[in-house]
Amino acid sequence: MRSGTRRDEKLLEPAVLARVDLMRQAMQGHPIADMEWVLTALGRHETNDALLRQVTTG
C-alpha cells in the first residue's frame, strides 16, 4: 500500500513499512474497536518499535 500525502515509503525502512501496512489493513472495519485495540497494544509495549516487532509479515 502506498501512502498518499504521508510518503511513508520515504520515511520508514521497508520491513517497518510492511508491518505498518499490515496493521492499517487489519484496521479497516470498526474504527472505535480498532482504536481501542491500538491503545491497548501500545499500553502493553514499551515503544512503538516493540509493538511493530510483534507484527508478523508472513
pLDDT of residue 55: 87
> Is the distance from CB of 21 to CB of 1 less than 8 angstroms?
yes
Query: Which pLDDT value is given to residue 19?
Result: 93
**Dist. CA 35–CA 24, nearest whole Å:** 11
pLDDT value for 56: 83
pLDDT at residue number 35:
93
Indicate the pTM of the whole model.
Answer: 0.75
pLDDT at 36: 95
Alpha-carbon span 38 to 29, nearest angstrom = 14
Output the tens digit of pLDDT for each of the chain's 58 residues: 555 667 888 889 999 999 999 998 989 889 999 999 999 999 999 999 999 999 886 5
**Within a 13 Å sphere around the CA of 28, how many CA atoms are in the beta-carbon half?**
6
